[in-house]
């Protein structure tokens, strides 16, 4: 029996508690488990870094939502990324990384993994030829992409990149944080690993930090299970519970995020204080056709360039009221930020530097007319 996405979000890994019938999986806030005899843990559980029932429930649910075989939940998105790097790569290996990406991911490669001996090349992930040129045959172990990218909403062609990566015995790793599994399931297009910052849309309420990896391959799954335990950057039971609570409503939240983002895009494209709008749902977006192939809808993230340059972009961010000025994204509340000075300050001077006049919106699920009114006053002039 195969269930639909909404059903899986609510039920996968979340059967009623066998002991009490509780409909919601309990928070198993325990570090250790009683054993019946030496070497005989009662139900297979020994120690919570290795296994915890609340984390298991979240992992099972995330595996189902990405249509993968196994999922692993971590303390943060970056903890998930670090564990993946050190599972799949050795010092001296090479990875291709995106030219537009979460700043912390770039920092992990450039400031941490590089010191450990990992080599990397930046490629334009919306251009398959650019990725092909960056691959070093024999040494490249991973092609790492985000799609849509952060913050310029570029689109990577997952099916084409999977063929390219596999032709070189490299893994295709897809950070699916911006789309969420409701809008895009990278494993269906040949990706080997899906990365999530569950802090964002999966959790969805800006109340918990977490990360996840999802894979289709059993052998890679076993290696990740070993490293999750051996490196220890696990998601705690309460955090796993909060994330599960959030993920139940992922489908309905994402649809409203998309509805509201579409209205915001429509408004911004007509506004004279806006020089350019980045949204993969726009027919003129260079990645639109690929996005149509691999995404259900186009998401809640919207970026735009202020006609008056950087001072104007900063002014817009400072003037917004309902759009909260802050980093992060994917929560029910709308956020606004200036990537150049906030989320992407750490990539200044690198190939990932972002335009100074850029404003990024995480469009929430509030009443859309209230969001448009706030943008109107922040942009200046009549709505
Ligand atoms: C936030 C984010 C991360 C990092 O996740 P944390 O949970 O903050 O460690 C990775 N990738 C993307 C696209 C993100 O937005």
pTM for the model: 0.97
Which atom of ligand 1 lies nearest, measured to the CA of 150?
13
Closest-CA residue, ligand 1 atom 6, reads 77
Q: Which residues of 331-349 are buried (b: 16+ CB within 10 A; e: fewer)?
A: beebbbbbbbebbbeebee
Q: Which CATH number fits the domain 5-247, given the four candidates 3.40.640.10, 3.10.20.90, 3.90.550.10, 3.40.250.10?
A: 3.40.640.10
Dihedral sign, CA of 256, 257, 258, 263?
positive
Dihedral sign, CA of 56, 172, 355, 382?
negative
| Domain spans, the chain | 5-247, 250-380
Output the pLDDT for position 1.
Answer: 64
Ligand 1 midpoint to CA 321 (Å): 25
Cα three-residue angle 254-258-263, rounded to 5 degrees: 150
Active site residue 245: no
User: Which helix H or strand E contains 194, and what residues bound it?
Assistant: strand 193-197
Of the residues 73, 83, 104, 233, which should be mutated to test ligand 1's pocket, given the most ligand atoms within 8 Å of the CB?
A: 104
Tokens of 237: 């039971």
Q: Say which of 100, 175, 192, 239 is annotated catalytic.
A: 175
Output the pLDDT for position 346.
Answer: 85
Output the pLDDT for position 135.
Answer: 98
250-380, what's its fold?
Answer: 3.90.1150
Q: Walk along the chain (383 residues) in steps of 10 and give the mean pLDDT of each run.
A: 94 95 96 94 94 98 98 98 97 96 92 96 97 97 97 97 98 98 98 98 98 98 98 98 98 98 98 97 97 98 97 97 97 97 90 94 98 97 45
Closest-CA residue, ligand 1 atom 11, reads 102
């Amino acid at each position: 029996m195969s269930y639909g996405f909404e059903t899986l979000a609510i039920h996968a890994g979340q059967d009623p508690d066998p002991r009490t019938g509780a409909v919601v999986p309990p928070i198993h806030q325990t570090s250790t488990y009683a054993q019946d005899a030496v070497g005989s843990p009662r139900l297979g559980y020994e120690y919570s870094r290795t296994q915890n029932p609340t984390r298991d429930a979240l992992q099972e649910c995330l595996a189902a939502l990405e249509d993968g075989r196994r999922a692993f939940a971590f303390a943060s998105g970056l903890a998930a990324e670090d564990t993946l790097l050190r599972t799949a790569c050795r010092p001296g290996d090479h990875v291709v990384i995106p030219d537009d990406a979460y700043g912390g991911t770039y920092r992990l490669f450039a400031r941490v993994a590089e010191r450990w001996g990992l080599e990397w090349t930046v490629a334009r992930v919306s251009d398959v030829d650019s990725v092909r040129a960056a691959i070093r045959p024999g040494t490249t172990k991973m092609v790492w992409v985000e799609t849509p990218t952060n913050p310029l909403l570029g689109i990577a062609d997952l099916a084409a990149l999977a063929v390219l990566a596999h032709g070189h015995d490299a893994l295709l790793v897809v950070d699916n944080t911006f789309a969420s599994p409701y809008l895009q399931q990278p494993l269906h297009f040949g990706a080997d690993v899906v990365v999530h910052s569950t802090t964002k849309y999966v959790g969805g309420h800006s109340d918990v930090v977490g990360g996840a990896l999802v894979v289709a391959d059993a052998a890679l799954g076993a290696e990740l299970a070993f490293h999750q335990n051996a490196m220890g950057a696990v998601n705690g039971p309460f955090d796993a519970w909060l994330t599960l609570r959030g993920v139940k409503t992922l489908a309905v939240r994402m649809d409203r995020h998309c509805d509201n983002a579409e209205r915001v895009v429509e408004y911004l494209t007509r506004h004279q204080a806006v020089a350019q709008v980045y949204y993969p749902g726009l027919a003129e977006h260079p990645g639109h056709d690929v996005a149509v192939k691999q995404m259900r809808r186009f998401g809640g993230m919207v970026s735009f360039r202020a006609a008056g340059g950087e001072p104007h972009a900063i002014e817009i961010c400072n003037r917004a009221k309902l759009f909260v000025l802050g980093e992060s994204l994917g929560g029910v509340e709308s956020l606004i930020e200036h990537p150049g000075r906030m989320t992407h300050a750490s990539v200044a001077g690198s190939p990932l530097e972002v335009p100074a006049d850029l404003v990024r919106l995480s469009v929430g699920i509030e009443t859309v007319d209230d969001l448009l009114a706030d943008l109107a006053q922040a942009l200046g002039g009549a709505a």
